[in-house]
Amino acid sequence: MFAGLKSGCVLLALVCIALGLVTDSASAITAEIARKCSALTTKQFPPREPGNPAAGSAKGSGRAQHDFFRKCVANGGKVDDDNAK
């Protein structure tokens, strides 16, 4: 009786360890990096009408802005000098 319980516990422990190693954990960005990247994105893609974000960007598309922001976050708040003007 105890042998079956013991082997079941060992199997459960191995499954938990395997799942812990397999899952891909995403780390959350800090508020500081998000603010910095948001400011850099706004500088890189200025609004068509100042004060009206619904008017769109004077340069680039929404997808370009999204990609720029994601790249900035991935680099820890730093962007390449050739992209930041």
Tens-digit pLDDT profile for residues 4-20: 667 776 777 766 676 66
Q: What is the per-residue pLDDT across 26-53, written as a single tens digit (0 to 9) for each?
A: 567 889 999 999 999 989 998 888 888 7
Q: Which spans in the chain are helix H?
A: 2-22, 31-44, 62-74
CA-CA distance, 62 to 51, in Å (whole number)?
17
Specify the amino acid at residue 2.
Answer: F
Which tokens hold the place of 42? 């706004």
Specify the amino acid at residue 40.
Answer: L
CB proximity list for 23: less than 8 A, separation 6 or greater: none
Q: Is 0.75 topped by the overall pTM?
A: no
